[in-house]
């Protein structure tokens, strides 16, 4: 797979860049505010490299999950404004993706200037399962450019028009962000330094089945927290009250526990849990109580790993040489249920080796809890893509770049 240098002299060329600018917003249009600009900041180096090379940079991306038609709350306008602030230059904004505004905006670019097109998911062809419909939209995107750079790692696991099909229609290259992501993930899957510890959290076991299945043969330890842990606890015979539970995954969890024991992989589950009688919402005051993981009351639900478990998880990470973490340990957005996630994040900052935060909510937690991102080995911009890579799945947006 070729990097940007393989595209040759870019001065005066229109370069379509697929970035990942899918950031969280709050408020209502037209005064939407960005609550975490991490993905925008991660996209800046490649965009700046292209602009510095004299390219006319045309950035395309999605935001949220619109249903193939424009929705004000999913407009990329505030994202384009923030990108301009980070680049230190004006960024043009097209109010559509492949229509009159897009064409005139691109035509108006001078060498080294940058434009952002409106949300690609405002066009039904972007996510269509029909190859012809996707292809027709990709044709329109490709007509705006002379070359294509794939730099949105968070979407490379999607076979979508702006990720996959457009790369088949233009000279293409891998951007620096995607290249770094792939290099780091290879270090997790090809002869990782040991001990190799994987920390998994988040809400559902079913979201992580493939990763657990694949890593049971690679990792030395699996630390499991978050909402997914309650299916494991139930599989061990413990009651979990009103906690999140996937009944249809109980046998799978039992099989993983058995396989781990047989293969010498340690699966560490929390021994205590922070519970409340209701999920935190609005201005309601939380009432956290710490209980044993085998003593969750019937009227309560688990919302974080407990302090004893936080210490145990940190200790299990202390001598690791390679760590991959995906998924918070609890409802970290609420202070009363953030300490388990904080403990894991803190432990990762002291790793003597490679520590990888696997994107998604884990990356958001790092920033929300105030950690210095530079203290982690790598913070991924793509949670789903990272997981699918570690499952051993083929990523369409990567394979299409192979020459």
Residues serving a catalytic function are: 39, 204, 360, 384
39 is in an annotated binding site: yes
254 is in an annotated binding site: no
Nearest of 10, 4, 116 to residue 54 by alpha carbon: 10
Number of helices (H), then strands (E), in the chain: 13, 17
175 is in an annotated binding site: no
Cα–Cα distance for residue pair 124/281, rounded to 1 Å? 34
Phi-psi region at 298: left, alpha or beta (left = phi > 0; alpha = psi -120 to 50)? alpha
Q: Which residues pair with 323 in a beta bridge?
A: 197, 355
Cα–Cα distance for residue pair 111/123, rounded to 1 Å? 28
362 is in an annotated binding site: yes
| Phi and psi at residue 342, to the nearest 5° | -60, -40
What CA dihedral angle connects 40, 46, 51 and 54, to 10 degrees? -170
121 is in an annotated binding site: yes
H/E segment holding residue 398 = helix 396-399
**For the chain, how are helix, strand and coil distributed in percent, rounded to 5?**
40, 15, 45
302 is in an annotated binding site: yes
Range 280-317 burial, b when 16+ CB lie within 10 A, else e: beeeeebebeebebeebeeebbbbbbbeebbebbbebb
360 is in an annotated binding site: yes
64 is in an annotated binding site: yes
Which 8-state DSSP code applies to residue 235?
A: H
293 is in an annotated binding site: no
- CB-based contact 90:84 (threshold 8 Å): yes
Cα–Cα distance for residue pair 227/330, rounded to 1 Å? 7
Cα–Cα distance for residue pair 116/124, rounded to 1 Å? 19
Alpha helices, DSSP H, located in 190-263: 209-215, 229-235, 250-263
Distances (CA, A) of 276 to 157, 264, 284, 287, 290: 37, 35, 12, 6, 9
The annotation places the binding site at: 20-22, 39, 62-65, 121, 158, 208, 302, 333, 359-362
The annotation places the binding site for (2R)-3-phosphoglycerate at: 39, 121, 158
The annotation places the binding site for ATP at: 208, 302, 333, 359-362
The annotation places the binding site for substrate at: 20-22, 39, 62-65, 121, 158
């Amino acid at each position: 797979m070729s990097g940007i240098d393989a595209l040759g002299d870019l001065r005066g060329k229109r370069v379509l860049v697929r970035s990942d600018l899918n950031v969280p917003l709050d408020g209502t249009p037209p005064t939407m505010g960005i609550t975490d600009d991490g993905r925008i900041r991660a996209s800046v180096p490649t965009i700046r490299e292209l602009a510095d090379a004299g390219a006319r940079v045309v950035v395309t991306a999605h935001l949220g999950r619109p249903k193939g038609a424009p929705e004000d709350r999913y407009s990329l306008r505030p994202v384009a404004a923030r990108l301009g602030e980070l680049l230190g230059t004006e960024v043009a904004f097209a109010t559509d993706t492949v229509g009159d505004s897009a064409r005139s905006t691109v035509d108006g670019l001078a060498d080294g200037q940058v434009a952002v097109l409106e949300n690609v998911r405002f066009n039904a062809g972007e996510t269509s399962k029909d190859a012809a419909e996707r292809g027709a939209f990709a044709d329109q995107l490709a007509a705006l450019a002379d070359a294509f750079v794939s730099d949105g790692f968070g979407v490379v696991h999607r076979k979508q028009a702006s990720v996959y099909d457009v790369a088949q229609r233009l000279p293409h290259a891998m951007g620096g962000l995607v290249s770094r992501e792939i290099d780091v993930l290879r270090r997790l899957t090809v002869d990782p330094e040991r001990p190799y510890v994987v920390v998994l959290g988040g809400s559902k076991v079913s979201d992580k089945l493939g990763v657990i299945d694949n890593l049971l043969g690679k990792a030395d330890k699996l630390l499991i927290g978050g909402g997914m842990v309650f299916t494991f606890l139930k599989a061990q015979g413990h009651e979990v009250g009103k906690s999140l539970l996937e009944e249809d995954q109980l046998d799978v969890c039992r099989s993983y526990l058995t396989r781990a024991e047989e293969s010498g992989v340690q699966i560490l589950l929390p021994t205590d849990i922070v519970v409340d009688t209701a999920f935190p919402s609005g201005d309601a005051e939380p009432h956290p109580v710490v209980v044993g993981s085998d003593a969750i009351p019937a009227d309560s639900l688990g919302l974080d790993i407990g302090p004893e478990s936080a210490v145990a998880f940190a200790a299990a990470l202390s001598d690791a040489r390679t760590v991959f973490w995906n998924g918070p340990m609890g409802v970290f957005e609420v202070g009363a249920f953030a300490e388990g996630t904080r403990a894991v994040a803190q432990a990762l900052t002291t790793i003597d080796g490679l520590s990888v935060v696997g994107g998604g909510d884990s990356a958001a937690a790092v920033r929300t809890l105030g950690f210095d991102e530079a203290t982690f080995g790598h913070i991924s911009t793509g949670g789903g893509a990272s997981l699918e890579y570690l499952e051993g799945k083929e990523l369409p947006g990567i394979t299409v770049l192979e020459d």
